[in-house]
Amino acid sequence: MRQRAAVLCGAAVIAAGTVTAAPADASAPRPAHPAPVAPAAGLHWEKCATEDYPTLQCASLEVPLDHARPRGRQITLALSRVPHTAGTYQGPLLVNPGGPGGSGLTLAGFVASSLPAKVAAQYDVIGFDPRGVGRSTPALDCLPGHFDPVRPDSLPDTPDVEQANLARAKSFADACGEKYADVLPYIDTVDAARDVDAIRAALGAEKLNYFGYSYGTYLGAVYAKLHPDRVRRLVLDSVVGPDDVWYDANLNQDLAFNDRHRAFLAWIAEHDAAYGLGSDPERVEAAWYAMRTALAKRPAGGKVGASELEDTYMPGGYYNGYWPYLAEAFAAYAKDEDTGPLVEAYENFGALDASGDDGYSVYTAVQCRDAAWPRDWDEWRDDSWDLYEKAPFMVWNNAWYNAPCAFWPTGSGQPVDVANGELPPVLLFQATGDAATPYEGGVAAHRLLRDSALVVEEGGGNHGITLSGNDCLDEHLAAYLTDGTVPRGGGGEADAVCQALPDPKPLESKAASTSSRGSTLHGLLGFRR
């Protein structure tokens, strides 16, 4: 998770309860069946308004570290709320930005202000930091500065480079095990879903409305599997493929991100008058990889080597609103050897701060714990080199990002079978060119969630597509949240199709700015899933 979300100020945090020892078998996989949720005390909401979200309130909730031991050690979840104002009240709408590792506190304010006012007014929009994240306690930070520049080149074209990257991955896993041995066995999607039900209980709601982006779609689907009778409405935007959690999902991402990066380079070629890098996409691609080769030898500004360059340009695969800025930095370096814009782009899009360190710690903890990963590095190496031949853009960067799972200090569970025939109608949104959660995942979830409806953004490549400026998509969302209406198609994969918004224009153009809502949303969703 490469999180760039704005930090919410003023969230109230309650100290964790008495510490008790973790059970001796805590590192072993645990079953996904639901445990009873202990009755929760009422929440005490306090003002934590921001300039953008003046009605935002915050609270905190203690939940068991181990839900099978409700009177054992307690941890704290940070919550946020925009309260309903209409006479018609439809209950809490819990929102999650994904990750795993993403903070959802500010997302509550964004969703409440971005939905039509008459729709938002009927819900208490609830944000939360999942266990381990942000203002929840304890918040994980396994190895501060793990992504400080300049890292080894992600491309392991010599044994020394490969060993340097392996040492980094193992050191991160070891640090997590040393600092959080008693916590890591409980940082996973099933426990986060049990937390969701504790939030529901604390809110005094018999049923929950849920709206998740990205990884948040998997969290929502797992919650619905555990408690189908407690789901009132369920919106999943940019859907995690339920059949490939998590090793295969990352391999599938590699192919999709390569396609999306090439779409970005083709866009630069299309706007050769602005960037002067050539009108042939293959020529532009060759120039980008030449830049990568040069930076591997001499990092820009002492900060942006080959790995940092990949970090910087990966967000363009999530959101095309970044393309004009990334293109400017590329052109300045390629044509004039000007490193300033490239360093600025890295600091804006690629560099991690303390919240990013926390997000990555939770990302690895959840992914490594949720499902089995290969423990034999030879399997990672073979799979990555095979993919590199087809899709060189982010294969190795992504492999090293997830490589701590080869050394993770806990056991792994089994992915939850989210197939569900007991839910009310569920609304799914998916872009055909989404790289982080490829289109096939949305189709698979549509098949597994009986009575769901799938709205497709045809020709879209962004990740997180509702409340981002596409009125067609947002009308379906508003109708569903108003009265449960979902589209019903004529038998194809999609129940409704919306056309994607046009790609952005270069910065020199009057049309350069993209949807402000889109930019805000993608700042909250962060990167990596």
The yes-or-no answer on residue 434 being catalytic is yes
Q: Which residue, among 415, 404, 416, 413, has the nearest Cα to 180 in the 3D structure? A: 404
For the question of residue 214 being annotated catalytic, the response is yes
Burial string for 32-62 (b: 16+ CB within 10 Å, else e) reads beebebeebeebebeebebeebeebbbbbbb
Specify whether the CB–CB gap between 238 and 436 falls below 8 A: yes
What string of DSSP letters covers 84-113?
--SSS---EEEEE--TTT---HHHHHHHHH
Residue 4 DSSP code = -
Tokens representing 32 are 């996904």
Among candidate residues 434, 474, 495, 503, the one labeled active-site is 434
CA angle 153/159/160 to nearest 5° reads 60
> Quick one: tokens of 181?
């041995």
Residues sharing a CB contact under 8 Å with residue 464, sequence separation 6 or more, in sequence order: 98, 213, 214, 237, 238, 318, 319, 521, 522, 525
Residue 213's DSSP bridge partners are: 237
Tokens of 187: 């940082």
DSSP string, 252-280: HHHHHHHHHHHHHHHHHHHTHHHH-S-S-
Residue 154 annotated in active site: no
Environment class of residue 24 by beta-carbon count within 10 Å: exposed (0-12), middle (13-18) or buried (19+)?
exposed
Contact 436, 318 (CB under 8 A): yes
User: Of the listed 446, 463, 476, 522, which one is catalytic?
Assistant: 463
Catalytic residue from among 80, 113, 214, 307 = 214
**Sheet containing 208-213, strands listed edge to edge, beginning at the edge strand earlier in sequence:** 46-47, 57-64, 74-82, 124-129, 92-96, 208-213, 231-237, 427-431, 453-458, 496-499
DSSP string, 187-249: -SHHHHHHHHHHHHHHTT-SSEEEEEETHHHHHHHHHHHH-GGGEEEEEEESPPPTTSTTHHH
Strands 208-213 and 124-129: unpaired
CB-based burial of residue 23 (10 Å sphere; 0-12 exposed, 13-18 middle, 19+ buried)? middle
Q: Which of 63, 65, 76 is nearest to 21 (CA)?
A: 65
Residues with a catalytic annotation lie at: 214, 434, 463
